[in-house]
Structure 1
Amino acid sequence: MSLSNQSCGSSIDDLRRYQHHVYAVVYSVILAPGLLGNVLALWVFQAYVRETKRGVVFMMNLAVADLMQVLSLPLRIYYYLNHTWPFGQPLCMLCFYLKYVNMYASIFFLVCVSVRRCELIMHPLRYRSNRRRGDMCVCAAGWLLVCLGCLPFPLLRNTSLTPDLYTHTAPYDLTPNPYASSPSSYAPAPTSSPTPTPGPTSLVAVCFAELPMREVSPAAGWALMVGAELVGFILPLILVLTCACLSAGSLRVHRGEGEGGGVKDHGEKKRALRMVLSCAGVFLLCFSPYHVTMPLDFLAKADALGSCEVREMVLRCHPVTLCLASLNSGLDPLMYYFTTDEFRRRFSRPEIPESFSLAPRLSCTSGGGEKDLPLTPEPEL
């Protein structure tokens, strides 16, 4: 018997209850603002797409990715509150898959938004060229890359084992042992555990991280881990931080100088810089902690860490970082609101339906007739 089964078996039930509590609370907090914020973001951005605003395509796709994650949260909350999954294995795997698709699609589109805004600051003439079709091709390629790259997450969960490995019999726990990766670790908790609550024996289906892992070689496991870290985190982090540094440096150098033929409104460049810095802040807050604990969680579940205390600390920290990765679904709409003036202006107008107007105009009487006067052009998003 491994050290984890010997020394840590008595804490498995407590760890599972702790994880379910954390997930249920955080996902409940994210659900309402994430749903409302991303629906409103899509409502605002669809007008900009019709107006061929460059760069808004990336923000619209970011909002779609966030909305996909938010729509799966009610099922997750139900599972973590009731400790059972009655919706079937296919829907479980779909929700599990969408979690990672949202994470890495959000990372991809945050990088795209950062690069676009950095381009506005450093090369305004190039930014103003119409490349909306090129942006849409980049988005399509990004979705394809993310969807294919995230397939290993559900595929590594073993859905071909016997039903006993997907259920636990109350009051004795038969859920997967989070400290070991082999199916042999799925065993009832010892009778020396605290006295269970009396009640009828029942089978309870499990889902998400409690699904058993497939047997993979250590080399394959490490290859997948390193690939996810490099392509899904390290490279995007370098790009986002580089855009933030270049944007801040360029704005500081050109402060007070004219921009002949470029972005005439210096405030527009400041808004672009705020967006770049906000993307970097969301990236560091939401995705950095998860990608720091992910390899440690892998080692803990592979029984490769030295002590039970270290394993338990990692396994208690990892759910918190996974919740932070979901927090971007609620933070991204706030980023749009505080870094784009037009986003706020659409909600401050008395007549909301007029915000759908593609070319707002004023009608005034001059002489004997009426003529339309266009309003001041709207700034680039």
Structure 2
Amino acid sequence: MCNFTETENGTELNMKNTGYALVFGSVTILGLPLNVVSLWILLRRHSLTSPNAVFMVHLAFSDLLLVISLPMRAYFYATGTWPLSPMACIWITMLFRNNVRSSSIFITFICVDRLLAVVYPLRSRHIRTPSNAWKSAAFVWLVVIVVNIPESVGLSRFLNRYNGSACFEFRCHMRSPQSYFQAVLVSIMLAINVVCTALVSWTLHRQLSDSVRINNKVNVMLIFVMNLMMFAVFFLPASLALLFESWRPAFTALICLASVNCCLDPLLYYFSFDGFWRRKEEVDTSLPRQQLNTVQTEFA
């Protein structure tokens, strides 16, 4: 049987819940315009003509879904009540978990795409196509939805045994198969990002021509470092908290922290925007320069 009693006194608990409400409210206020504008720019200005743009559109869409779910979380922690149905609580919870899962995959796709652009710019062109990117993105969303079905059923059974005050506090339903899936998924995606970062760093250091400007190299590595930070700070702690008993008192705080990722993803778009513009405008038919230009134009 679950126990929802808290070790903090009422004042401490109220202060924590107020803090959670402020974080979720602040992320909503900041994240909503950032992601709406980012999505508009990606769709309007870049026309989904590169796999990187496709993945970033889906990443921005995932973040936007998370942002629109946060006002109700803020309301819940501010008032201590849940005015909607248990199913609404479940789907808002799913929007958060889907964001962690889908964002970790799309960020990894972006990372792998950048790796191929640096290490194999010519040989990977038949792989790095918008068509393949759309197929990959569709597969990601399909997997996410399939995982949602049994997870939603389990959370529904849990909520039927407890009143509305248990919304978002699924501490007795944390070690589900889907929770293990999320922790393993995020860990695997992090490992892929670490390998990609190491390979790109080695390539930039050892193989690129001296004519590549240092600013370009910095921009390249910033993308990879930002990706690693997303995993280490936002995705992994919240995912592991689903599994480890000792982490559960900090679970809601880690959820707050994880929600901030949707405000930082636009930085990833920013460091790629100039590359998108130049890639469209600059055409070089000289084969000896083509490999170098691929890296320069995509990461400038």
**What TM-score, normalized to structure 2?**
0.80
Measured in 1, the distance between the counterparts of 2:139 and 2:267 equals: 27
SS in 1 for 2:191: helix
Measured in 1, the distance between the counterparts of 2:51 and 2:124 equals: 8
Tell me the residue number matched to 1:248.
201
Question: What letter matches 1:332 in structure 2?
Answer: D
Tell me the residue number matched to 1:140.
138
- Confirm or deny: 8 A CA contact 2:118 2:200 kept in the other structure: yes
Q: 1:143 to 1:206 in 2, by over 3 A?
A: same
- Confirm or deny: 8 A CA contact 1:244 1:276 kept in the other structure: yes
1:24 aligns with 2:21: yes
- Larger deviation: 142-151 or 16-25? 16-25
1:341 aligns with 2:274: yes
Tell me the residue number matched to 1:306.
none
Measured in 2, the distance between the counterparts of 1:160 and 1:295 equals: 17
Question: What letter matches 2:113 in structure 1?
Answer: R
Question: What letter matches 1:243 in structure 2?
Answer: C
- CA deviations on 1:168-210 (whole Å, 9 max, x unpaired) are xxxxxxxxxxxxxxxxxxxxxxxxxxxxxxxxxxxxx335333
**What TM-score, normalized to structure 1?**
0.65
Q: 1:211 to 1:223 in 2, by over 3 A?
A: closer
Tell me the residue number matched to 1:123.
120
Measured in 1, the distance between the counterparts of 2:207 and 2:99 equals: 37
Question: What letter matches 2:63 in structure 1?
Answer: D
What pairs with 1:289-308 in structure 2 (closer than 5 Å)?
289-296=237-244, 299=245
Measured in 1, the distance between the counterparts of 2:196 and 2:38 equals: 24
Q: 1:290 to 1:49 in 2, by over 3 A?
A: same
Question: What letter matches 1:34 in structure 2?
Answer: G
Relative to total residues, which structure has the larger strand share, 1 or 2? 1
1:228 aligns with 2:182: yes
Shift of 1:140: 0.2
Question: What letter matches 1:143 in structure 2?
Answer: W
Shift of 1:58: 0.4
Tell me the residue number matched to 1:87.
84
Measured in 1, the distance between the counterparts of 2:195 and 2:89 equals: 38
Measured in 1, the distance between the counterparts of 2:158 and 2:210 equals: 66
Tell me the residue number matched to 1:318.
251
Number of aligned residues = 285
- Confirm or deny: 8 A CA contact 1:54 1:131 kept in the other structure: yes
Q: 1:120 to 1:267 in 2, by over 3 A?
A: farther
- CA deviations on 1:234-290 (whole Å, 9 max, x unpaired) are 2111101111111111100124357xxxxx788656533321222112221111222
Q: 1:70 to 1:77 in 2, by over 3 A?
A: same
- Larger deviation: 280-289 or 63-72? 280-289
Shift of 1:155: 2.4
Percentage identity across paired residues of the two chains: 24
- CA deviations on 1:71-122 (whole Å, 9 max, x unpaired) are 1111111111111111222222211111111111111101101000111110
Q: 1:144 to 1:227 in 2, by over 3 A?
A: same
SS in 1 for 2:143: helix
Q: Unaligned regions of 5+ residues in structure 1, if any? A: 167-204, 259-263, 300-310, 346-357, 360-377
Measured in 1, the distance between the counterparts of 2:224 and 2:123 equals: 18
Shift of 1:42: 0.8
Tell me the residue number matched to 1:208.
167
Question: What letter matches 1:320 in structure 2?
Answer: A
Measured in 1, the distance between the counterparts of 2:17 and 2:122 equals: 51
Q: Unaligned regions of 5+ residues in structure 2, if any? A: 282-295
- CA deviations on 1:331-359 (whole Å, 9 max, x unpaired) are 1012322454368x8xxxxxxxxxxxx98
- Confirm or deny: 8 A CA contact 2:151 2:178 kept in the other structure: no
Shift of 1:322: 1.5
